[in-house]
Amino acid sequence: MPKYVFDFIEGGKDLAELLGGKGANLAEMTRLGLPVPPGFTVSTEACRGYLATGTVPAGLFDQVNRHLRLVEDRFGKVFGDPRDPLLLSVRSGGKYSMPGMMETILDIGLTDASVPGLAACSGDPRAAWDSYRRLIAMFGRTVRGVPAEAFERELAAHRSHAGVANDAELTEADLRHLVDVYKKVFHDHTGRDFPQAPHEQLYQAIEAVFASWNTERAVLYRRQEHIPHDLGTAVNVMAMVFGNLGPDSGTGVAFTRDPATGATGVYGDYLANAQGEDVVAGIRTPVPLEELERLDARSFAQLTSIMAMLERHYRDLCDIEFTIERGKLWMLQTRVGKRTPAAAFTIAAQLVDEGVIELDEALLRVTGAQLDQLMFPRFDRTAAPKPLAVGIPASPGAASGRVVFDAVRAAQWAATGERVILVRRETNPDDLPGMIAAQGILTSRGGKTSHAAVVARGMGRTCVCGAEALDVDATGRRFSVAGTVVSEGDVVSIDGTTGEVFPGELPVRPSPVARYLQGDVPAAGTDALLDAVHRLVTHADRVRRLGVQANADTGVDAGRARRFGAEGIGLCRTEHMFLGERRALVERLILADGDGERAAALAALLPSQRADFVQIFEAMDGLPVTVRLLDPPLHEFLPPLAELTARVARAEALGRDPGRDGALLAAVRRMHEQNPMLGLRGVRLGLVIPGLFAMQVRAIAQAAADCAARGLSPRPEIMVPLVATAPELAAVRAEAEQILAETDGLPPVPIGTMIEVPRAALTAGEIAGVAEFFSFGTNDLTQLGWGFSRDDVEGEFFPRYLGMGIFGVSPFESIDTSGVGRLVRIATEEGRAARPDLRIGVCGEHGGEPDSIHFFHDAGLDYVSCSPFRVPVARLEAGRAAVAARTSTTSDSR
Ligand code: PEP
Ligand code: MG
């Protein structure tokens, strides 16, 4: 029979998988000789057995009994003994902490027979009866599913009958009576008596903790935190000690450093004459831990020396829970403590200074997600009103502004200096100008990977999406929520870190970390946090192998990216250069009748394209700028079909000539595609519309030559989108090379391709024959690899897929390593085999996402390219990936 039960003296901190985090650390403390009440842990393996079969594994309780006898021996009491009972706590604890998600049952072993024994030995009959009534309620609720309200109702009735305001004022007689009433409630709901056999209580409690792994809230929490569902929980069974036996007893929680700021020194709370749940329940206010020094100097000294020892041992911030029973200190829990992003950076740097860890390890102790959090401004919440609604925190930050319901007005108001929040049911690509103009974006539909969320994150714009309580009436220009109506022009504030939506304007504080990373403030010697961020990001730059470039298509974005540390532009999309007033020129191109008209239309576009490139080359002087030739289907630049149809119909009804609209409508009808993602776009467009790519190449060449003539060092590269086969690229290349050759004063201009069609990945060896570089377009590679289009599926069935656990995370958010990632690996390998000096990068959304960056490092890519705001995150994660690969230690951010 497998060994399912482990005494605390048998385990250790490295066994979290088997014993859960709590069990492993209790064992570690026991081995260190610290005063841990005796106990044992039932393994996660036993829980998995239970979850698979619905019954407790055979022989488990025999093992429990054997270990219980050891506990009795060591504690010098017998479980449930009527004279002086050993009582037990039964607590859940999986590999990853899931605070409050699973069950705990205290005072197991208390029965009608043993309450008097406990009362006599503790000298506190009231506390004994109080413990018993708590056990009946906790056991009834957790083990037998009795609704908590059934007990609470009785408790409230007793309080009012006794004429007291809180439970602490109930007398021993009240509590004795309440025990009888609770037993009746238990019987009424379960048809059985409250079990009077201590072992029976223990077995049932263990089983209930196993089952609590699958409560709705636990499943939801795991889904959110990406914790696998098949791990199971361990169960920790420990001798009860009591902090509520008088003024020389108490309970507390403490940290070895401040988990909010990272400042050194012991932090904690202490509550005299109380048990742990009293602290959690917030019934009484605890005092700062230093107070314990006055109350019980000996325990305080012992506690602080244990904490120093734990920190040395774990080489990190630890948090602990402890109880003092009549002057004797007991350690009930420890673990490497959770901390805020600011504390994570500060503590990692402190530990380096203290000689505890090396910089490499410090880098593994912080994450890109934490750095991201530190870069966004925050609300000053001291005077925040109640939120109107809470949505999904999709893109962090704090934004206030006037509510606007359409993109055009958002852009107009913003142009006059107004701060606006764009509110939509959901956004689509047409909303882009409004999204750019707005301080923040608020939607009532869609999840973390909705259009609004993805675009907002890419732009570093604050976004709350899926705030379903909002009833958005865009036509009426207002939204209503819980009886409040917010009209266009009213001010709201949205917090992209918490998802909250507030009425009115909340003051914000700018993020000093973002200011430092943008080069606005120096790091050195000013502030512990900035200093820590500086040291860790610089160390990441020293150790990383992956280059970090940015996706930017304006001079302003390029400049910002450079200040954030981008080493070039990995993707300059040119389609944004065809919007705004230039749409008219694109329309001319589309409607051109014959070569002459087309050439004239292209010639009209050329100067503005060239001017755009000049600005970008200036901002990125000396660094590579990868310009991608036009990608989207052309009709995206024309008015929507429905709008044109209506305009033409209106004109015809009035007997007027629809003029240009008629021609546009015909063009849109001609070009209309059922699925534009799979149609005439990318390189296909370049090959089908004569002169289009040539005009773009000419604009690049002329802009570069112009900059070079002014003494700058432009480094343009030309990238062709959506290539599926080598001949496509070869054709574009031949034309481009000819144009480049005609331009004087040009540096060499590498020509490469995006790999974003599965066929391209699978024929990468052939394509590498004509490409000097590859850049994986993982957005399209994901769409085409999975066979779904992002805009269609994210709102439709992704929530269901995520709910069903088919995805742990959306493949548009984090690279699907086994499918799309495999295409990346194949193309990298075969591309390099054909051309050993092939440069390979990635420029899809995944280029700025931490887990994906680690994958790209492992796959051997040369660089990642991401939005400017994510550049610091990518630098940090690329460094972490290099260290993690070297040491094959992965830091666990949970
Ligand atoms: C991609 O497909 O990953 C990519 C970067 O191109 P776009 O997102 O512009 O289609
Ligand atoms: Mg693409």
Pocket test for ligand 1, best of 627, 755, 843 (most atoms within 8 A of CB): 843
User: 390 pairs with which residues across the strands?
Assistant: 500
Tens digit of each residue's pLDDT (9 = 90 or more) over 273-304: 888 766 555 456 678 888 999 999 999 999 99
How far, in Å, CA of 442 to CA of 402, rounded?
Answer: 12
CB atoms near residue 161 (< 10 Å)? 11
Provide the CATH number for the domain around residue 217. 3.30.1490.20
How far, in Å, CA of 25 to CA of 41, rounded?
Answer: 11
Ligand 1 binding pocket includes 777 (Cβ within 6 Å): yes
135-139, 501-505, 518-522, 544-548: the lowest-pLDDT one? 518-522
DSSP annotation of 579: S
CB atoms near residue 640 (< 10 Å)? 12
Which are the contacts of 352, defined by CB distance < 8 A and separation ≥ 6? 358, 359, 362, 535
Confidence of residue 728 (pLDDT cuts 50, 70, 90): very high
Tens digit of each residue's pLDDT (9 = 90 or more) over 830-882: 999 999 999 999 999 999 999 999 999 999 999 999 999 999 999 999 999 99
Q: State the pLDDT at residue 880.
A: 98
Are residue 217 and residue 273 in the same domain, yes or no?
Answer: no
Q: How far is the CA of 459 from the centre of ligand 1 (A)?
A: 15
Q: Identify the CA nearest to 770 among candidates 740, 729, 709, 802.
A: 729
Ligand 1 binding pocket includes 31 (Cβ within 6 Å): no
Q: Give a three-class secondary structure readout of 543-573.
A: HCCCEEEEECCCHHHHHHHHHCCCCCEEEEE
- Residue 328 pLDDT > 80: yes
**Element housing 704 (H / E):** helix 692-709
Distances, alpha carbon 619 to alpha carbons 143, 547, 713, in Å: 66, 18, 11
Are residue 728 and residue 612 in the same domain, yes or no?
Answer: yes
Residue at 536 is within a domain: no
CB atoms near residue 12 (< 10 Å)? 17
Tens digit of each residue's pLDDT (9 = 90 or more) over 682-691: 999 999 999 9
- Residue 67 pLDDT > 70: yes
Confidence of residue 523 (pLDDT cuts 50, 70, 90): confident
Tokens of 262: 């990272």
Q: How far is the CA of 157 from the centre of ligand 2 (A)?
A: 66
Q: Identify the CA nearest to 826 among candidates 757, 756, 763.
A: 763
Question: Order of strands across the sheet with 484-487?
Answer: 471-473, 478-481, 484-487
User: Which of 253-267, 359-373, 799-813 has the highest mean predicted lDDT (pLDDT)?
Assistant: 359-373
Ligand 1 binding pocket includes 571 (Cβ within 6 Å): yes
Are residue 230 and residue 254 in the same domain, yes or no?
Answer: no
Contact 853, 881 (CB under 8 A): yes
Q: Nearest C-alpha to atom 8 of ligand 1 is from which residue? A: 779
3-state class of 323 per DSSP?
strand
Q: Which of residues 336, 368, 386 is at a domain's end? A: 336
Are residue 138 and residue 209 in the same domain, yes or no?
Answer: yes
Are residue 302 and residue 392 in the same domain, yes or no?
Answer: no
- Residue 828 pLDDT > 60: yes
Q: Identify the CA nearest to 38 among candidates 65, 79, 70, 80.
A: 70
203-207, 575-579, 712-716: the lowest-pLDDT one? 575-579
Strands 233-239 and 88-94: antiparallel
Q: Identify the CA nearest to 248 among candidates 303, 323, 324, 304.
A: 324
Q: State the pLDDT at residue 282.
A: 47
Q: Give a three-class secondary structure readout of 636-701.
A: HHCCCHHHHHHHHHHHHHCCCCCCHHHHHHHHHHHHCCCCHHHCCCCHHHHHHCCCHHHHHHHHHH
- Burial environment of residue 572 by CB neighbours within 10 A (0 to 12, 13 to 18, 19 or more): buried
Q: Nearest C-alpha to atom 10 of ligand 1 is from which residue? A: 780
Ligand 1 binding pocket includes 756 (Cβ within 6 Å): yes
Confidence of residue 245 (pLDDT cuts 50, 70, 90): confident
Tens digit of each residue's pLDDT (9 = 90 or more) over 304-317: 999 999 999 999 99
Are residue 454 and residue 558 in the same domain, yes or no?
Answer: no
Residue at 844 is within a domain: yes
Residue at 258 is within a domain: yes
If you average pLDDT over residues 640-644, what whole number do you get? 85
Ligand 1 binding pocket includes 74 (Cβ within 6 Å): no
Q: State the pLDDT at residue 284.
A: 62
Q: How far is the CA of 408 from the centre of ligand 2 (A)?
A: 26
How far, in Å, CA of 554 to CA of 577, rounded?
Answer: 9
- Residue 168 pLDDT > 80: no
Ligand 1 binding pocket includes 893 (Cβ within 6 Å): no
Q: How far is the CA of 513 from the centre of ligand 1 (A)?
A: 29
Ligand closest to CA 722: 2
Are residue 229 and residue 256 in the same domain, yes or no?
Answer: no
Provide the CATH number for the domain around residue 323. 3.30.470.20
For the chain, give the percent of residues with pLDDT over 90: 70
Q: Which of residues 239, 272, 299 is at a domain's end? A: 239
Q: State the pLDDT at residue 891.
A: 42
Pocket test for ligand 1, best of 455, 553, 571 (most atoms within 8 A of CB): 571
Are residue 319 and residue 193 in the same domain, yes or no?
Answer: no
Are residue 417 and residue 500 in the same domain, yes or no?
Answer: yes
Provide the CATH number for the domain around residue 850. 3.20.20.60
Tens digit of each residue's pLDDT (9 = 90 or more) over 621-634: 999 999 999 998 88
If you average pLDDT over residues 545-550, what whole number do you get? 98
Are residue 558 and residue 608 in the same domain, yes or no?
Answer: yes
Q: Identify the CA nearest to 198 among candidates 318, 111, 89, 312.
A: 111
Provide the CATH number for the domain around residue 493. 3.50.30.10
**Element housing 502 (H / E):** strand 500-503
If you average pLDDT over residues 731-744, what whole number do you get? 96
Q: Which residue is associated with the tokens 């909002």?
A: 470
Pocket test for ligand 1, best of 449, 551, 573 (most atoms within 8 A of CB): 573
Please give the tally of structural domains in the chain.
Answer: 4
Tens digit of each residue's pLDDT (9 = 90 or more) over 394-449: 887 889 999 999 999 999 999 899 999 999 998 876 788 888 889 999 999 876 65
Tokens of 427: 């956004």
Strands 233-239 and 39-42: antiparallel
Q: Nearest C-alpha to atom 9 of ligand 1 is from which residue? A: 573
Query: Active-site residues: which are they?
Result: 451, 843
Contact 109, 218 (CB under 8 A): no
- Residue 887 pLDDT > 90: no
Ligand 1 binding pocket includes 631 (Cβ within 6 Å): yes
Q: State the pLDDT at residue 381.
A: 78
Ligand 1 binding pocket includes 550 (Cβ within 6 Å): no
User: 713 pairs with which residues across the strands?
Assistant: none
DSSP annotation of 382: G
- For residue 130, the Cα-to-chain-centroid distance in whole angstroms is 42
Ligand 1 binding pocket includes 779 (Cβ within 6 Å): yes
Q: State the pLDDT at residue 311.
A: 94
Residue at 582 is within a domain: no
Q: How far is the CA of 754 from the centre of ligand 1 (A)?
A: 9
Residue at 660 is within a domain: no
The average confidence (pLDDT) of the chain is: 91
Ligand 1 binding pocket includes 722 (Cβ within 6 Å): no
Are residue 85 and residue 228 in the same domain, yes or no?
Answer: yes
Q: Give a three-class secondary structure readout of 414-449.
A: HHCCCCEEEEECCCCHHHHHHHHHCCEEEECCCCCC
Which atom of ligand 1 is nearest the CA belonging to 721?
6
Q: Nearest C-alpha to atom 4 of ligand 1 is from which residue? A: 777
Instruction: Give ∠ CA 404-406-411 in degrees, rounded to 5.
Output: 80
Which are the contacts of 659, defined by CB distance < 8 A and separation ≥ 6? 651
User: Which of 150-154, 498-502, 618-622 has the highest mean predicted lDDT (pLDDT)?
Assistant: 618-622
Residue at 518 is within a domain: no
Contact 530, 512 (CB under 8 A): yes
Contact 772, 752 (CB under 8 A): yes
Ligand 1 binding pocket includes 844 (Cβ within 6 Å): yes
Contact 869, 459 (CB under 8 A): yes
Residue at 678 is within a domain: no
Q: State the pLDDT at residue 330.
A: 98
- Residue 27 pLDDT > 50: yes
What does R_g of the chain's alpha carbons equal in angstroms?
Answer: 33
How far, in Å, CA of 271 to CA of 334, rounded?
Answer: 18
If you average pLDDT over residues 789-797, what whole number do you get? 80
Q: How far is the CA of 14 from the centre of ligand 2 (A)?
A: 44
Q: Identify the CA nearest to 685 among candidates 748, 754, 732, 625.
A: 732
Sign of CA dihedral 333, 893, 206, 175: positive
Residue at 352 is within a domain: no
Confidence of residue 35 (pLDDT cuts 50, 70, 90): very high
Q: State the pLDDT at residue 889.
A: 46
Sign of CA dihedral 641, 646, 649, 651: negative
- Residue 894 pLDDT > 70: no
- Residue 393 pLDDT > 90: no
Instruction: Give the domain range for residue 312.
Output: 250-336
Q: State the pLDDT at residue 678.
A: 84
Q: State the pLDDT at residue 893.
A: 38
Distances, alpha carbon 458 to alpha carbons 441, 551, 628, 723, 865, in Å: 13, 9, 18, 25, 12
Q: Identify the CA nearest to 60 among candidates 215, 214, 196, 209.
A: 209
Q: Give a three-class secondary structure readout of 162-209.
A: HCCCCHHHCCHHHHHHHHHHHHHHHHHHHCCCCCCCHHHHHHHHHHHH
260-269, 549-558, 744-753: the lowest-pLDDT one? 260-269
Q: State the pLDDT at residue 280.
A: 52
For the chain, give the percent of residues with pLDDT over 70: 97
Q: How far is the CA of 409 from the centre of ligand 1 (A)?
A: 28
Q: Nearest C-alpha to atom 6 of ligand 1 is from which residue? A: 777
CB atoms near residue 485 (< 10 Å)? 12
If you average pLDDT over residues 464-474, what whole number do you get? 92
* Region of residue 22 (phi > 0: left; psi between -120 and 50: alpha; otherwise: beta): alpha
Are residue 742 and residue 615 in the same domain, yes or no?
Answer: yes
Q: Which of residues 239, 258, 293 is at a domain's end? A: 239
